[in-house]
Amino acid sequence: MAGSTRSKILNTLQLSNDYTIKPAGLRWRSNTIFIVATVAIGLFTDLFLYGLVVPILPFMLRDRVGLPAEQVQSNVSGLLAAYAGASVICSPLAGLLADRISTRQAPFLWGLTALLGATILLFFGNSVAVLAVARVLQGISAAFVWTIGLALALETVGPENLGKTIGSIFSFISVGNLFAPLLGGVLYEKAGYVGVFSIGFGIIAIDFAMRLLVIEKRVAKRYETNDPDAGDRETSADDQQDATHDEENGDEDNEEQPLLGGKEEDEASFKLSNNQPKLAQYIPILPCLANPRLLTAFLVAFVQAMLLGNFDATIPTVAEEYFHVDSLKAGLLFMPLGVADFILGPVFGWCVDRFGTKPVGVFAYTYLVPALIVLRIPHPGGQQQMLLYGGLLALCGVGLAGIGAPSIVEAGAIVQKYYEVNPDFFGDNGPYAQLYGLNSMVFSAGLTLGPELAGELKQFIGYGNMNLVLAGICAVTAILCFVYIGGKPRILSRKR
């Protein structure tokens, strides 16, 4: 009796390979909304705990570790770099590992385990070395959650719905990114470390429960058919049917597509040769990197992260230098950026699904050019200048809301095409986790470079000229989006 009960419990938690007994709640645990919500909560937890801890790092180093004031800034920068560096290194490894095991759930849980360990070390750590280990674990967790989460989202909703899904997820997690620093500062002031980390442990508990309960759709199909391999076969069949349907519709609507739309390459351009080197056979995403569209998608993600890192690094210092406000009011200046992302993120995601990645990418980066240039207008002053600065940041937030989905959707669509044309080369799982591992690595590199670039430019050429340089980068990115993202633009491929 005891053995039978334990077997049922294991099966309920999806720890058994016995596909003859369905887990409790199979239908809702494998529901698209629940899976997407689990991914969203996972990404939210990562960003929320990152933002929750960052504002109190200087106080931890000063009060708990006992560092002198002149060493605090350098050690804070070092701890931030430890997080980004760990994420850059581990993201491709997480993708490679995830594509070689049969389920996304296990590495998804490993990432949360690393985050739990990091939070415990941050709570009890009283030396720079311990805090550095904690930040490295946070970076490892970020690598796993972003890599596995985005791959799981793509497999759940399909490439045709990825735009609005990513837009909605980014809209949700922007709340955590927006309010976590403010909440961390308030909790630290009112309740100390216990108050800050109590809410962190509570969110981790909710995240852990959802990740433990989630059942991937392909795993759910195995329970439905009692065939361990059925999920992969049915998923492949569904993908092929969808691809055929899309191709037929694409041929029918070919003449109706706008000139700005991309001209899709034929299947031959995605066909890989049979004599791939051993490294490519071990890391099958590598041959895909020869595609300029995929490289451009990564560049778009890098520039997006660099812009976000720029705002994170400069808004607090500008608020202090221009308006002489405290940390709480400086933090409020992040709200215009976050509110615009929260409201318009799903809208731009829907536009990506409806009109394609090229129009949205070109529009968003072109829009950011004047939006960044007008940040030269505010100057030191009182409340009126601060309100002007906040309003201009809101305008920038509109552009930032539009640059999130195109790169992810474009990269997913390209690799999806490679997988459809070369199914035997990539195997049952495909290279999606490897793809998003590289995407996470590139994004983390942008977040690392952004603050450094912004700080150096602001110091040597001033804040206004710094934004002029960033506007130039956005202009170049908009041109690259026009030429490569979504395929060759029809306006350039018309016969003269």
Please give the tally of structural domains in the chain: 2
Q: Tell me the C-alpha distance between 73 and 57, whole Å.
A: 10
Residues 197 and 296 in one domain: no
pLDDT average, residue stretch 150-156: 82
**Hunting for tokens 């294991």 — which residue is that?**
10
Highest mean pLDDT out of 38-42, 103-107, 171-175, 476-480:
476-480
More confident residue, 109 or 181: 109
Structural domain boundaries, residue 456? 282-496
Give the pLDDT confidence score for residue 366 in this predicted structure: 96
Task: Tell me, yes or no, whether 267 lies in a domain.
Answer: no
Other CB atoms closer than 10 Å to residue 192's CB: what's the count? 13
Give the pLDDT confidence score for residue 251 in this predicted structure: 44
- Give the DSSP per-residue string, 393-461: HHHHHHHHHHSSHHHHHHHHHHHHHHHHH-HHHHTTT-SHHHHHHHHHHHHHHHHHHHHHHHHHHHHHH
Residues 183 and 311 in one domain: no
pLDDT-derived band at 345 (thresholds 50, 70, 90) equals confident
Cα 251 to Cα 244, 248, 256, 409: the distances in Å are 11, 5, 10, 21
pLDDT average, residue stretch 469-481: 94
pLDDT-derived band at 367 (thresholds 50, 70, 90) equals very high
Give the pLDDT confidence score for residue 47 in this predicted structure: 80
Give the pLDDT confidence score for residue 265 in this predicted structure: 60
Give the pLDDT confidence score for residue 362 in this predicted structure: 93
Last residue of a domain, one of 187, 218, 249: 218
Task: Tell me, yes or no, whether 5 lies in a domain.
Answer: no
More confident residue, 327 or 445: 445
* Chain segment 236-272, per-residue pLDDT in tens: 444 444 444 444 444 444 444 444 555 556 667 788 8
Residues 158 and 301 in one domain: no
* Chain segment 285-337, per-residue pLDDT in tens: 888 888 889 999 999 989 988 888 788 777 777 887 788 876 567 667 777 87
Last residue of a domain, one of 201, 218, 235: 218
* Chain segment 77-99, per-residue pLDDT in tens: 678 778 878 888 888 888 877 77
Residues 214 and 290 in one domain: no
pLDDT average, residue stretch 108-124: 87
pLDDT-derived band at 102 (thresholds 50, 70, 90) equals low
Residues 194 and 62 in one domain: yes
Give the pLDDT confidence score for residue 86 in this predicted structure: 86
Last residue of a domain, one of 195, 218, 241: 218
Give the pLDDT confidence score for residue 331 in this predicted structure: 66
pLDDT average, residue stretch 412-440: 80
pLDDT average, residue stretch 210-224: 81
Task: Tell me, yes or no, whether 483 lies in a domain.
Answer: yes
Q: Which pair of structure tokens corresponds to residue 429? A: 């799982």
Give the pLDDT confidence score for residue 75 in this predicted structure: 76
Q: Tell me the C-alpha distance between 470 and 262, whole Å.
A: 26
pLDDT above 70 for 55: no
Give the pLDDT confidence score for residue 364 in this predicted structure: 93
Task: Tell me, yes or no, whether 241 lies in a domain.
Answer: no
Alpha-carbon dihedral angle through residues 181, 183, 189, 192, given to the nearest 10 degrees: -100
pLDDT average, residue stretch 449-471: 85
Query: At a CB cut-off of 8 Å and minimum separation 6, what does 469 contact?
Result: 457, 461
In the chain, the percentage of residues whose pLDDT exceeds 70 is 80
Residues 186 and 78 in one domain: yes
Residues 173 and 293 in one domain: no
Residues 138 and 287 in one domain: no
Q: Which of 67-71, 161-165, 329-333 has the lowest mean pLDDT?
A: 329-333
Residues 45 and 132 in one domain: yes
Q: Which of 188-192, 243-247, 479-483 has the lowest mean pLDDT?
A: 243-247
Task: Tell me, yes or no, whether 244 lies in a domain.
Answer: no
Give the pLDDT confidence score for residue 454 in this predicted structure: 80
Kind and range of the H or E element at 48? Answer: helix 32-53
pLDDT-derived band at 472 (thresholds 50, 70, 90) equals very high
pLDDT above 50 for 111: yes
Other CB atoms closer than 10 Å to residue 242's CB: what's the count? 15
Task: Tell me, yes or no, whether 189 lies in a domain.
Answer: yes
Do residues 211 and 106 touch, judged by C-beta distance below 8 A? Answer: no
Give the pLDDT confidence score for residue 148 in this predicted structure: 85
More confident residue, 442 or 423: 442
DSSP alpha helices (H): ranges in 276-356? 278-282, 292-323, 327-332, 335-355
Give the pLDDT confidence score for residue 332 in this predicted structure: 75
In the chain, the percentage of residues whose pLDDT exceeds 90 is 11
Residues 287 and 211 in one domain: no
Residues 370 and 449 in one domain: yes
Q: What is the mean pLDDT of the chain?
A: 78
* Chain segment 419-432, per-residue pLDDT in tens: 888 887 877 667 77
Count how many Cα atoms sit within 13 Å of the Cα of residue 58 in the half-sphere of its side chain: 10
Residues 424 and 295 in one domain: yes
pLDDT-derived band at 476 (thresholds 50, 70, 90) equals very high
Task: Tell me, yes or no, whether 383 lies in a domain.
Answer: yes
pLDDT average, residue stretch 460-481: 92
Task: Tell me, yes or no, whether 272 lies in a domain.
Answer: no
The enclosing domain of 376 has a CATH number of 1.20.1250.20
Side chain identity at residue 104, one-letter code: R
Name the 3-class secondary structure at 21: coil
